[in-house]
């Protein structure tokens, strides 16, 4: 992360967000952040530090109380497919087959059926679910449903991918498998990714760069570059380089000033 001549694809400038209500909650305070083109950035922070709020602001569902957010140079107003957003909750449409789920964004874009089919074929292959094309989501595991959601967003070919703890609800083994699937998908079709998680190891394994947020109200506490070679594998998880960065990040996320 040394020579960065390209302008940021996504940026937040002094963003604050306060949830109004009987007891107003300050979720974010003066947070500034940049995501460069084709960069995989992980935002790491404890539960309740405003990570989801930040992502919902980038996705266009919330407007910052103060400050500004821009994507590709223009300010963000409202949701749109250019910023593909994978929610933290399970959001695969249960009444649609796997293929219909994958094609939904293309349908919204007005893509012709034949072209939609070609794209969904490709993604069914990429996530290894070709046999499940006409299955309903109830037949999929939680992890596979999440991969369908990621692929569903990628199918519209967005400029940027916003992922909100996509594997938070999975057990450790499945989670590792899904991380590999995501990394594989990303290495084949490079995209700018903003990945939110509370798991240090997950952030290290996937990201080029890590931003650590402080507890509420969230602000940037530290930055780390993750200069580990790709493609990463199980070996990466136990390499000295990985463990060295892990120690640094671990210390930064721990309780401190």
Tell me which residues touch other proteins (CB under 8 A): 59-61, 79-81, 83-85, 87, 89-91, 93-96, 104-105, 107-109, 136-138, 149, 152-153, 156
The nearest distance, CB 146 to other proteins, in angstroms, is 12
Closest to other proteins by CB, 91 vs 222, is: 91
**How do beta strands 160-164 and 25-36 pair?**
unpaired
- CB under 8 Å to 231, separation ≥6 — which residues? 183, 184, 187
**How do beta strands 209-213 and 40-44 pair?**
parallel
Closest to other proteins by CB, 85 vs 224, is: 85
The nearest distance, CB 110 to other proteins, in angstroms, is 10
The nearest distance, CB 208 to other proteins, in angstroms, is 24
d(CA 145, CA 164): 15
Listing DSSP states for 19-73 in one string gives E-SSS-EEEEEEEEEEEETT-EEEEE--TTSSHHHHHHHHHTSS--SEEEEEETT
Please give the backbone phi and psi of residue 98, each rounded to the nearest 5 degrees, phi first.
-55, -45
d(CA 119, CA 106): 9
CA 181 distance to own-chain centroid: 14
The nearest distance, CB 56 to other proteins, in angstroms, is 9
Closest to other proteins by CB, 84 vs 218, is: 84
H-state helical runs in the chain = 51-59, 98-109, 113-126, 142-155, 172-188, 200-206, 234-237, 240-253
The nearest distance, CB 55 to other proteins, in angstroms, is 11
Closest to other proteins by CB, 14 vs 157, is: 157
The nearest distance, CB 102 to other proteins, in angstroms, is 11
Closest to other proteins by CB, 127 vs 249, is: 127
Closest to other proteins by CB, 1 vs 107, is: 107
């Amino acid at each position: 992360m040394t020579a960065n001549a390209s302008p940021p694809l996504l940026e937040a400038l002094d963003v604050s967000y306060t949830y109004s209500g009987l007891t107003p909650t300050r979720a974010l305070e003066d947070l500034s952040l940049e995501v460069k083109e084709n960069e995989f950035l992980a935002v790491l922070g404890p539960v309740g530090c405003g990570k989801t709020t930040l992502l919902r602001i980038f996705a266009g569902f919330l407007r910052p109380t103060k400050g500004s957010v821009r994507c590709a140079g223009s300010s963000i107003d409202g949701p749109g497919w250019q910023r593909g957003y994978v929610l933290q909750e399970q959001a695969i449409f249960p009444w649609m087959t796997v293929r219909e789920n994958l094609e939904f964004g293309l349908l919204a874009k007005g893509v012709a059926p034949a072209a939609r089919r070609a794209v969904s074929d490709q993604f069914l292959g990429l996530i290894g679910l070709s046999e499940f094309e006409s299955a309903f989501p109830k037949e999929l595991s939680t992890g596979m449903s999440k991969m369908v959601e990621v692929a569903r967003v990628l199918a519209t070919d967005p400029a940027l991918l916003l992922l909100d703890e996509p594997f938070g609800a999975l057990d450790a083994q499945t989670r590792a498998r899904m991380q590999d699937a995501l990394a594989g998908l990303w290495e084949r079709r490079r995209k700018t990714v903003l990945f939110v998680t509370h798991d240090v190891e997950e952030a290290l394994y996937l990201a080029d760069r890590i931003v650590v947020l402080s507890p509420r109200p969230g602000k940037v506490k530290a930055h780390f570059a993750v200069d580990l070679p790709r493609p990463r594998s199980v070996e990466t998880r136990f390499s000295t380089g990985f463990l060295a960065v892990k120690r640094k990040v671990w210390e930064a996320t721990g309780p401190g000033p």
